[in-house]
Homo-oligomer: A and B are copies of this chain.
Amino acid sequence: MKLLIVEDNSELSKNMESYLAKEGNTCETAFNYHQAIDKVVSFTYDVVILDLTLPDGDGLDVLKALNKQSSEVGVLIVSARNSLDDKLSGLNFGADDYITKPFHLSELNARIKAIYRRRNFSNKKVIECREILIDLDAHEVFVAQTVIELTKKEYELLIFFISNQNRVITKQSIAEHLWGDQADYYDSFDFVYQHIKNLRKKILAAGGGDYITTIYGMGYKFNTLS
């Protein structure tokens, strides 16, 4: 999934980024209030990890900005202050969850996944679409009762498809969701083609039907109806 890490402590930020990236997420970072605002008004994220104490502004204002645009984004508040006030005001302003420093990265990761699941899959731990079954916790995908091994990108792609099922999604939006900022630097979509091919092949090999339709000149659509 696509994350924004708002954290002024660069070491911690780097740690979080590397851990969360290894878990298969696309991460972007903002180190202060202004960067954070720039990002959240211009890009879309699945979850924003928001430190409330920023050098040039109040993290809560980022949260307020997110509320205004009534977006789908989830927010996990991070704060060193163990003050109950912060926690309450954060949750009052629409944050999804709260974690206090210091924390284990695995704990952070678990909470992010929980937020995402709650928002996108009504807190289900298992998603089922036709013959496809996904265990979000175990990161395991079954097609017609048999497990298929997906790489991180393939898994992310599948999740993205499923959370936009029966809608056309463009190659651009796929690139943005799976590669974040970096998507701009590529000048072809060869890599998207490649991952689509591999995902299709693996689903097919396991006996699954034809889920991913190509909409020539537009993009792709993941069919779960017919």
Contact = CB atoms under 8 A, between A and B. Distances in A.
Contacts of A22: 170, 172
Contacts of A105: 172
Interface string A151-164: 11000000000000
Interface string A85-110: 00000000000000110111111010
A43 B139 contact: no
Given A44-B107, A103-B42, A173-B106, A168 B137 contact: yes
Q: What range describes how many residues of A lie at the interface?
A: 35 or more
Contacts of A173: 106
A167 interface: yes
Contacts of A210: none
B138 A43 contact: no
A104 B23 contact: no
Interface of A: 19, 22-24, 38, 41-44, 81, 99-100, 102-107, 109, 137-139, 151-152, 166-168, 170, 172-173, 176, 215-218, 221
